[in-house]
Amino acid sequence: MTVEAVRVHGERSLEVTLDPETLLQDLSGIKRKLAPILLDGHGVVSVDIGAVDSLSSVTVAALLRIKRICLARGVEMRVCNPNARNLSVMRRCGMLRAIDATASGGER
C-alpha cells in the first residue's frame, strides 16, 4: 500500500494504492498510517484498486477499514479504477453504497 498526498481540483486529498502482493501485511497498519495523516485536513481519500484482480476478503476488509477511518474523521472516501469484474461484485454486494465507489479517481 502506498499513500501519497495530492491536490485534485485544488483540494488536498490522499491517494491510497492497494497492492495485492502486500495487502495482508498492510491491513494491520492501515489505521496507524492513515489516521494521523487525515488529522492534517485532507478532504478526500481516493483508494486505487486498479491492481486488484478480484475482491478478496482481505481487500474488502482493507476497504471497510479505510472507510471507517474516513467516517471517524469526516473525510470522503472514493474507490478508483475498479475493473469491470470488481465493480460488478461491488454492485451486487451493496458495497457501492457502503463505500461510495466511483469508476474513476478524478483528474490531477
For the chain, domains (ranges, CATH) are 2-99 (3.30.750.24)
pLDDT at 106 over 50: no
Strand runs (DSSP E) across the chain, as ranges?
2-8, 11-17, 44-48, 76-80
Confidence band of 98 (pLDDT split at 50, 70, 90): low
> 36 with 5: CB under 8 angstroms?
no
| Average pLDDT, rounded, for the chain | 82
Angle of helix 57-73 relative to helix 30-38, nearest 10 degrees, comes to 30
Percent of the chain whose predicted confidence (pLDDT) is above 90: 20
- Averaged pLDDT, 45-69: 91
pLDDT at 100 over 80: no
Distances (CA, A) of 103 to 6, 37, 41, 74, 76: 19, 25, 25, 22, 15
Q: What per-residue confidence (pLDDT) applies to 31?
A: 83
Distance CA 17, CA 49 (A): 6
